[in-house]
Amino acid sequence: MSGRDVKSMTRDELAGEIASLGLPSFRAGQIFDWLHVRGVTSFDEMTNLPKTLRAQLSETFELRSCTVVRRQVSRDETVKYLFRLIDGECIESVLMHYKYGYTLCVSSQVGCKMGCAFCASTIGGFVRSLTASEILSQIHAAQRDRGVRVSHVVLMGMGEPLDNFDNVMRFLDLVSDEKGLNIGMRNVSLSTCGLVPRIYDLMERRYQLTLSISIHAPNDAIRSQIMPVNRRYPMDELLKACRKYAETTGRRISFEYTMIRGVNDSDACARELAGRLRGMLAHVNLIPANEFSESPFARSGTDTVERFAEVLRKNGVNATIRRSLGSDIDASCGQLRLRSQKEVDPH
């Protein structure tokens, strides 16, 4: 199998491929539907195509999908998947059930190169970026496994989505295609640690998605200590890009703030943060830091988190506290990590 990655093709690109094979155009529509709506994992499942055509397609194209290696179900019914990709690399995704439906938290890379000190995704380094088809396949595999429909997607799993810009943009176009999964951009969130030039690139696309910024600190001194990316793109530049983004797209920016005991959780930090965000179309989501064995950090206490939120609100900034799901199975923010299949199944 060495053909081109068929599930990463847009509807127009697929139509072009099908035409160049001399096939009637309705075949492209059928194939797109099998790939994107039903999320099949082989051409053989495309039962309304003649057998000879299915064979021809599997010789011409590569069909990337995710295989479930492990499924863990949390007490709160959150499901964490370990998926295997075509080359044997593994990624994690998390399915969450809310009143309004199912949200899947997808990974965009195998590993991560951003090096945030408090995040498990960075342990083990970076292996490779995912293709659009591999990001989509996480949704397909979860839907099939649970027999549910995913209505919301958050690009908040392993990896830095804006460090895999082209594939992630392709993913966004495909996931929102009305003939595909048809998940509207307003139901998609993309989180970034702050790659400033790529934030401007994303702005140019005018997507109606929710942009989340992992801010985690009120100033450069603290931020550079815990997030190496801040040394390249300091807070002034980042917040300038955020202001411009919010003005241009009309979309409120969501700032994620992981609360680490004794590092970034003082009243002074809250006031300083409020000062920097004031006047921006913004919202702060506080996340008590999730712990993992290698992490040197401890989470802030509940009282501290609530006080921090109060100080933000008193200073004119919207703030909420994120409910943590799946913590008993290490499925919460910052707990997804590079794993090999061997770790789970040594045979």
- Please answer whether residues 324 and 288 qualify as being in contact, where contact means their C-beta atoms are separated by less than 8 angstroms: yes
Determine the interface stretch with ligand SAH among 9-17, 92-100, 175-183, 286-294 (rule: CB under 6 A): 286-294
Q: Which of residues 244-263 bind ligand SAH (CB under 6 A)?
A: 256, 258
Instruction: Check binding of 325 to ligand SAH (CB under 6 A).
Output: no
Instruction: Check binding of 92 to ligand SAH (CB under 6 A).
Output: no
Closer to ligand SAH at the Cβ: 65 or 258? 258
Instruction: Check binding of 189 to ligand SAH (CB under 6 A).
Output: no
Instruction: Check binding of 286 to ligand SAH (CB under 6 A).
Output: no
Instruction: Check binding of 290 to ligand SAH (CB under 6 A).
Output: yes
* Residue of 17, 89, 92, 256 with catalytic role: 92
Question: Would residue 333 show up in a list of annotated catalytic residues for this protein?
Answer: yes
Instruction: Check binding of 273 to ligand SAH (CB under 6 A).
Output: no
Q: How many Å apart are CA 61 and CA 76, to the nearest integer?
A: 40
C-beta of 87: minimal distance to ligand SAH in Å? 22
Show Cβ contacts of residue 177 under 8 Å, excluding neighbours closer than 6 positions: 10, 11, 36
Cβ burial of 88 (10 Å; 0-12, 13-18, 19+) is exposed
Query: Contacts from 81-89 at CB under 8 Å and sequence distance 24+?
Result: 81/138, 81/141, 81/142, 81/145, 82/339, 82/341, 82/344, 83/137, 83/138, 83/141, 84/341, 85/110, 85/130, 85/134, 86/62, 86/134, 88/341, 89/127, 89/128
Residue nearest to ligand SAH (CB): 334
Question: Would residue 306 show up in a list of annotated catalytic residues for this protein?
Answer: no
Q: Which of residues 215-234 bind ligand SAH (CB under 6 A)?
A: none
Q: Which residues bind ligand SAH (CB under 6 A)?
A: 114, 116, 118-119, 156, 160, 191-193, 214, 256, 258, 287, 289-290, 333-334
